[in-house]
Amino acid sequence: MEDERTYTAFRGNQLIVSGDLHAMLLATKACMDHGETGPILIFDDRTGRQIDFDFRGTPSDVLARLASHPLFAAGEPGAPRPGPGRPRLGVVSREVSLLPRHWEWLEEQPQGISGALRRLVEEARKREPDRERARIAREAAGKFMWAMAGNLPGFEEASRALFARDTGRFEELIRDWPEDIRAHVSRLVQESVRLDTSCTPSAPRPVEP
């Protein structure tokens, strides 16, 4: 899911579509144009975050609004690529709380505080990319579950099993959930398991006598 960002739309407990940003928007728009009036929830599969879109007008209108969407206008993965000219940097300003000694250290770094923070983040991401992606995938599954399965039987126990990495127990607990919800959350969990496995050191081979 890292190489190609995907998004998933649900109508109640039923999956509408899961795919890249444009495919998801067009399929969801078609569903709404066919008379769907119930609530539709859309998720970023990588983070589990819910995202709202404006589906008024034609399919072309829906896609055109991505250019002014608060998430995608700044270069969120999956957004349309900009045309010729200087690319947007996609810089987002947020509050950071640090101790005085942390600010003092950052102020002494070359390229300023923002440059130092960006460098530290990139270095951390490069050290253990699969472990970090596994954590993100588990949290994405947890966020999706909270939104879609919070009232389903076994939710709390399934959440504990998810973060305890007890996949067998987790699958047992969600067995009776609605099919599309179960299948989607299982896909997210299996991605975290795959990434966890890839960053687990293999056992050393025994030395031949």
- Rounded Cα gap, residues 95 and 88, in angstroms: 21
Q: Would you state the pLDDT for residue 143?
A: 96
pLDDT band at 36 (very low <50, low <70, confident <90, very high): confident
- DSSP state, 38? S
pLDDT in tens, 149-195: 999 999 999 999 999 999 999 999 999 999 999 999 999 999 888 88
The dihedral built from the CA positions of residue 50, 164, 198 and 193, taken in this order, carries a sign that is negative
Mean pLDDT (the chain) is 84
pLDDT in tens, 159-170: 999 999 999 999
Average pLDDT of the segment spanning 58-62:
96
pLDDT in tens, 95-128: 778 888 888 888 888 878 888 888 877 776 666 5
Q: Would you state the pLDDT for residue 44?
A: 96
Residue 63 clears pLDDT 70, i.e. is over it: yes
Sheet holding 7-11, edge to edge: 14-19, 7-11, 40-44
Residue 22 clears pLDDT 50, i.e. is over it: yes
- Rounded Cα gap, residues 162 and 34, in angstroms: 37
- Amino acid identity for residue 140 in this structure: A
Of the chain, the percentage scoring pLDDT greater than 90 comes to: 53
- Rounded Cα gap, residues 36 and 1, in angstroms: 29
- Rounded Cα gap, residues 45 and 74, in angstroms: 19
Of the chain, the percentage scoring pLDDT greater than 70 comes to: 81
Q: Which two tokens stand for residue 72?
A: 């995608």
pLDDT in tens, 133-147: 888 999 999 999 999
- Rounded Cα gap, residues 128 and 194, in angstroms: 14
Q: Would you state the pLDDT for residue 85?
A: 44
Q: Would you state the pLDDT for residue 182?
A: 97
CB 195 within 8 A of CB 131: yes
